[in-house]
Amino acid sequence: MRIATWNVNSITARLPRLLAWLEATGTDVLCIQETKTTAEQFPADALRELGYESAVNATGRWNGVALVSKVGLDDVVKGLPGGPGYDGAEEPRAISATCGPVRLWSVYVPNGREVDHAHYAYKLQWFEALKAAVAADAAGPRPFAVLGDFNVAPTDDDVWDPALFVGATHVSEPERAALAALRETGLTDVVPRPLKYAHPFTYWDYRQLGFPKNRGMRIDLVYGNEPFAKAVSDSYVDREERKGKGASDHAPVVVDLDV
């Protein structure tokens, strides 16, 4: 079973590449972030032609998450139970479903903007709610994983130049502590370093030749419980999909399971 996560940075802009990638890789389940569309405008028909069902939590121009699956979508939960709102609204940043033998969450953690910004406090609150929401599934006997854009680099090795990030979001101690607390529910990082190269970054800024110079960050993660982690047979970051015209600024992260 092949499971992947990908921040597509607008599913409308990325649709031809997305469909071609799904067909070429034989992915069974894809967790999508930053759809930047409404649920009504989500390209469910195009995905259905490839054999995928879709579950979508999206309300408009910003944010938005989805799960698309060839192996079923049951017990769908849209949103983060007990999650905080921001600026008076609940943002579409989480969706979960049972896909065949596994339970999966697709999450798009708030960016945080700056460490003294209200969005940063919201980010930490969101992490707390996520930890509470997944604890039961993480401790259970069924393979379970939380996948997505966590907007946190777990260690200094996960950013291209730690000195440039001092005092910034994505690397601050409270954010990393929140990520560690999530793992303490019984989850582990199932895409370990190193892979086939020293720094398996997943995000590169469009500006200043970020990708050609490999000035990236590893912020797209797959955290699985013990039954999920034991079933992992391979994992990789698909850097090729970050290349060329019309690419997202994130690369897909792929995990193969023997289940």
Catalytic residues: 108, 149, 250
Which are the contacts of 244, defined by CB distance < 8 A and separation ≥ 6?
none
Q: Please check if 34 is assigned to a binding site.
A: yes
Q: Please check if 90 is assigned to a binding site.
A: no
Backbone angles phi, psi at 118, to 5 degrees: -60, -30
CA neighbor of 161 nearest in space, from 110, 131, 199: 199
Q: Please check if 250 is assigned to a binding site.
A: yes
CA distance 252 to 248: 9
CA neighbor of 146 nearest in space, from 18, 33, 61, 25: 33
Q: Are strands 74-78 and 53-57 parallel, antiparallel or unpaired?
A: unpaired
Q: Please check if 53 is assigned to a binding site.
A: no
Q: Please check if 151 is assigned to a binding site.
A: yes
CA distance 247 to 240: 10
Q: Please check if 158 is assigned to a binding site.
A: no
> How far, in Å, are 118, 122, 177, 207, 239 from residue 202 at the CA level?
26, 24, 21, 15, 8
> How far, in Å, are 19, 47, 140 from residue 23 at the CA level?
6, 10, 32
**Residues annotated within a binding site:** 7, 34, 149, 151, 249-250
**Residues annotated within a binding site for Mg(2+):** 7, 34, 149, 151, 249-250
